Structure 1
Amino acid sequence: MISLSARSRGQGWEKPPPELAKFRSRWRANVRFVLQRVIFRAVVNSAVTPSATVPRRVRSVRGPFVLVANHTSHVDGPLLAMSMPWTQARYLSTGVAADYWFDHWPRRVFVRWMMNAFPIDRGGSRKHSGTSRRLLRSGVPILVFPEGGRQKTGVMAEFKPGAAALAIGVGVPVVPAAIIGGHEAMPKGRSWPKPGRPPVGVVFGEPMISYEGESAVDYSARIQQRVKELYDEYHDEILGPGGSGEKESA
């Protein structure tokens, strides 16, 4: 069987240009390991009860990929990064709104060092257009939230096809992930999780690749369906049969 990383190895990845070299910096990754896996983990464990489910094939992925997940709260990015095996998460980069995270220096410093973040334009600007594709071509995996924003009601919104189009265009796998309990623990409008260390789980799915000739819209719908299946499958295990959320709302 051809491994999921065979397509990318066959293409060969470009050496990052100077402005992107920091995203593959080993010493920055070492700092990020301490921030994510020591400091942030301690903070998370004090506020919520986290869990992670990682299939064996996710651990075997080498090279860049697109991590796709539902978006429930501001802690989703760091939670996903610290839940993924370090071999795959070492250089994981997250696209964040430039007008919110990069226009205010404390937030900019936080996401750059915690999330290896790059800015994404909103409101029609194209200043940072193409960064995600260049990162993937430089061997940097990226995290994308295709809903386009945090959930307001706990119900998953339709995925925009950009992440699927990116994965098809560069020829990399997609790793789907479902965050369960994030909205219940820290709904939009809260700056800290609810008291009582509520459960929050991250469930990664088997890596996916696009079918020959599959459109970005169809691929995106298939990815969203897989994320929804993961959510439904593990919902009761993480939140309990009486837990609220998408499973009961859908």
Structure 2
Amino acid sequence: MSSDRRTGPTRVEVALRTAQRVQRSLPRPSAALRAAEFPLRAPTVPGGVEPLPEEPTLGAAYETSWARSPVARLGRMAIQEGAIRPLIRLVADPERRGYDRLVGLEGPAIFAANHLSHIDAGLLLSSLPEPWRRRAFAGAAADYFFDTRIKATLSALALNAVPIDRAKVGRRSATLAAQLIEDGWSMVIFPEGGRSPDGWAQPFRAGAAFLSVRTGVPVVPVHLEGTGRILPKGTSTLVPGPTRVTFGTPLRPSDDEDMRDLATRIEAAVGALADEVAGDWYTARRRAHAGSSPSLSGPDARAWRRAWALGDRRSHRRRRREPWPLRRTG
């Protein structure tokens, strides 16, 4: 005859009692945590359901609106005046000319320059006269300046940079830049889309012209000289040396002009400024009026010949005397 007497708790009962004791010993969550309506962990995706792709937060998708808040603008002014401008003065010793051509220019403008070095953005932003300097942003390559969180944050804070997708025409980048211009911000942009590999300019893209046609604001051509010797493409070593920033006459799109024609005019205007720097003002103006300014992209020749021609321009530039009326103004 079998007996129903139990000699002790089963293993299951022992495990349950142990779990209850552990649970009672744990601290209770706060009332605020118990009342929270959001999940404490990311929800799981049921089996067989394709998860949604994660939204990108870097590159062209990086959000820069915070960099134009009052606090960020105050911090940027401190960075630019306390660090960037002294560094540019020490490393580049800039000579700035052509401010007289901006007399009468009111409202925002698009400052379009040739591109030789990573210091170009800091040099041009620090060379803008008031009131444009305090209310300017830079178009920066999304795949380089916004590829990591640290670089994106520093670029947005120090330069008020916005990401520009140079691999394709990005609607988000173009819309953001146009909105900022329409809100009264001026833009610094390098239409080549990247730094020169040999000191001569690359063909200008239509980004600056597109924004000018869309917003109706003028484009100010700017020529930068000397930055390629300070920090050329492919190196990371600063070699201090003199530079020159020359501002040109603002260009406005005509009623029947499309962005391609305006882009051609912008490139020609920067080329005419380069001719001024290499020669004398009067001769360069005559050539510009006749449409015969030397090509900004240099001779169509082998690499050694292009380097030779660039060296000739530099030697002539050092020998010549500054022409009136574009002598240094600040």
Taking structure 1 as the reference length, the TM-score comes to 0.80
Which residue of structure 1 lines up, in the alignment, with residue 273 of structure 2? 230
What whole-Å deviation, never above 9, does each CA across 1:72-122 have from its counterpart, x for those lacking one?
Answer: 111101100001113112121111122221221221122111111111124
Cα distance in 1 between the residues matched to 2:213 and 2:169: 24
Aligned pair partner of 2:153 in 95, 109, 113:
109
Cα distance in 1 between the residues matched to 2:171 and 2:211: 18
Aligned pair partner of 1:158 in 203, 221, 228:
203
Segment of structure 1 superposing worse, 152-161 or 106-115: 106-115
Aligned pair partner of 1:208 in 251, 254, 267:
251
Q: Secondary structure at the match of 1:156?
A: coil
Unmatched 5+ residue regions in structure 2?
Answer: 1-62, 281-307, 315-330
Relative to 1, partners in 2 of residues 1:39 and 1:136: Cα closer, same or farther, differing over 3 Å?
same
1:168–1:210 CA contact under 8 A, matched in 2: yes
1:45 partnered with 2:89: yes
2:242 alignment partner AA: P
What whole-Å deviation, never above 9, does each CA across 1:44-75 have from its counterpart, x for those lacking one?
Answer: 23323222114234254332211100011111
Aligned pair partner of 1:184 in 203, 208, 229:
229
Q: Secondary structure at the match of 2:139?
A: strand
Q: Secondary structure at the match of 1:118?
A: strand
Taking structure 2 as the reference length, the TM-score comes to 0.61
1:120 partnered with 2:164: yes
Unmatched 5+ residue regions in structure 1?
Answer: 1-18, 238-242
Higher relative CO (Cα under 8 Å, sequence separation at least 6) belongs to 1
Cα distance in 1 between the residues matched to 2:171 and 2:276: 40
Q: Secondary structure at the match of 2:208?
A: helix
What whole-Å deviation, never above 9, does each CA across 1:107-156 have from its counterpart, x for those lacking one?
Answer: 11221111111111244484734211121122211111111110001111
Aligned pair partner of 2:77 in 15, 33, 36:
33
Which residue of structure 2 lines up, in the alignment, with residue 170 of structure 1? 215
What whole-Å deviation, never above 9, does each CA across 1:203-248 have from its counterpart, x for those lacking one?
Answer: 11121111221121111111111111111212369xxxxx973874
**Deviation of 1:22 (Å):** 4.6
2:231–2:238 CA contact under 8 A, matched in 1: yes
Which residue of structure 1 lines up, in the alignment, with residue 294 of structure 2? none
Relative to 1, partners in 2 of residues 1:236 and 1:50: Cα closer, same or farther, differing over 3 Å?
farther
Q: Secondary structure at the match of 2:250?
A: coil
Relative to 1, partners in 2 of residues 1:186 and 1:220: Cα closer, same or farther, differing over 3 Å?
same
Q: Secondary structure at the match of 1:227?
A: helix
Cα distance in 2 between the residues matched to 1:131 and 1:150: 23
Segment of structure 1 superposing worse, 117-126 or 60-69: 117-126
What whole-Å deviation, never above 9, does each CA across 1:151-179 have from its counterpart, x for those lacking one?
Answer: 00111111112211210111101111000
Aligned pair partner of 1:67 in 90, 111, 129:
111
Q: Secondary structure at the match of 1:184?
A: helix
1:71–1:147 CA contact under 8 A, matched in 2: yes
Cα distance in 2 between the residues matched to 1:205 and 1:154: 20
Alignment of 1:84-99 (within 5 A): 84-99=128-143
C-alpha root-mean-square deviation of aligned residues, in Å? 2.6
1:29–1:91 CA contact under 8 A, matched in 2: no
Aligned residues: 224
Q: Secondary structure at the match of 2:131?
A: helix
Relative to 1, partners in 2 of residues 1:124 and 1:220: Cα closer, same or farther, differing over 3 Å?
closer
Alignment of 1:130-149 (within 5 A): 130-149=175-194
Relative to 1, partners in 2 of residues 1:60 and 1:191: Cα closer, same or farther, differing over 3 Å?
farther
1:245 alignment partner AA: L
**Higher Rg of the two aligned structures:** 2
Percent identity reads 33
